[in-house]
Amino acid sequence: MSKPLNDPLLTTGKVVLQIAAAGIAITIAVAFYGFVALFTDPEGNLARIFAKAPPEAWWWLFGISLLDTLVLGLCLLFVFQLVQIVDSVGDGDPFVPQNAGRLDRMAWLALAMQAVSLAKLPLAALLEPHLKDFPLGIDFSLWGIVLALTLFILARVFRKGAEMKADLEGTV
Amino acid sequence: MPITIKLDDLLHARRMTLTDLSERVDITLANLSILKTGKAKAIRFSTLEAICHELGCQPGDLLGFEGE
């Protein structure tokens, strides 16, 4: 029977992840509020920024904002999975099939975040020329794919570890 | 599983209980019970050696194979 661990690293990790989850949740809420405020701005700040832009530019900005919110949501789900893994390590029993499933889900979430970031690029390319004084600062890296691959491999490691643990528990 | 454990027969032949064997070979009663009921997935050489030593038998006396 495994005993719960009293590990400062795990405790710190869990606190940091919970703060991160709260931060992301607040960011989603603020982004949503800003989103609504921007598109229903009575003073027309957005209209001034888009003075020389084609009418479709509103939709491009709407798409980018929506995709950004989606990335934040995926990020929140990613952190939730990681918190559950940290909890299982704290319980002293990390090599369970559930953790392999969690790592698989984290890998798919990392891929989804990468795909959403990729989907933002054409919209940003369309919008950026019309926002000379208001750069979007959107860039793209392939680290999401590297992270997803790492997580898929770790999921295999944990699945194998869980199998080996089950075998060991049946050894007399 | 086609591998069978004949620990029950060996104990019966020697008028010994599983608790007696557990004390002599220093293996928990729970683990010996898992072995006896055929629920074990593997057996260590050290366990086999201890049981054979105490029961005065060969590994082949303890293990059987029931092919189809």
Query: ipTM, 2 decimals?
Result: 0.77
Per-residue pLDDT 10s for chain B (68 aa) are 689 999 999 999 999 999 999 999 999 999 999 999 988 989 999 999 999 999 999 999 999 998 76
Best to test chain A binding among B41, B48, B49, B62 (most A CBs inside 10 Å): B41
Interface of A with B in 127-166 (CB under 8 A): 166
DSSP type of residue A95: -
Residue A3 lies in a domain: no
List of chain B residues whose C-beta atoms are within 8 Å of the C-beta of residue A1: none
For position A137, what pLDDT does the model report? 65
Determine contact: A1 vs chain B, CB below 8 A. Answer: no
Q: Does some domain include residue A21?
A: yes
Report chain B residues whose CB lies below 8 A from the CB of A172: 27, 31-32, 34-35, 40, 42-44, 47
The predicted pLDDT at position A39 comes to: 72
User: For residue A154, is it within any domain?
Assistant: yes
Instruction: Name the nearest CA neighbour of A102 among A84, A89, A116.
Output: A84
Q: For residue A106, tell me if it sits in a domain.
A: yes
Q: How many domains does chain A have?
A: 1
Evaluate whether A9 touches A89 at the Cβ level (below 8 Å). Answer: no
Window 1-60 of B, Cβ < 8 Å to A: 27, 31-32, 34-35, 39-44, 47
Is residue A1 assigned to a domain? no
Name the amino acid, one letter, at A105. Answer: R
A2 within a domain of the structure (yes/no): no
> Which of A164, A1, A172, A162 lies closest to B37 in space, CA to CA?
A172
Give the per-residue pLDDT at A95.
93
Q: Which domain holds residue A25?
A: 8-171
Residue A57 domain flag: yes
> For the whole model, what pTM was predicted?
0.74
Q: If we measure between CA atoms, which residue out of B61, B11, B47 comes closest to residue B19?
A: B11
Per DSSP, the residues of B26-60 read: T--HHHHHHHHTT--SB--HHHHHHHHHHHT--HH
pLDDT at B68: 67
Give me the tens of pLDDT residue by residue for chain A, a chain 172 residues long: 456 667 889 999 999 999 999 999 999 998 888 777 777 776 666 667 666 777 788 788 888 888 989 999 999 999 999 999 999 999 988 999 999 999 999 999 999 999 998 998 888 888 887 776 666 666 778 889 999 999 999 999 999 999 999 888 889 9
Among positive and negative, which fits the CA dihedral B17, B19, B20, B26? positive
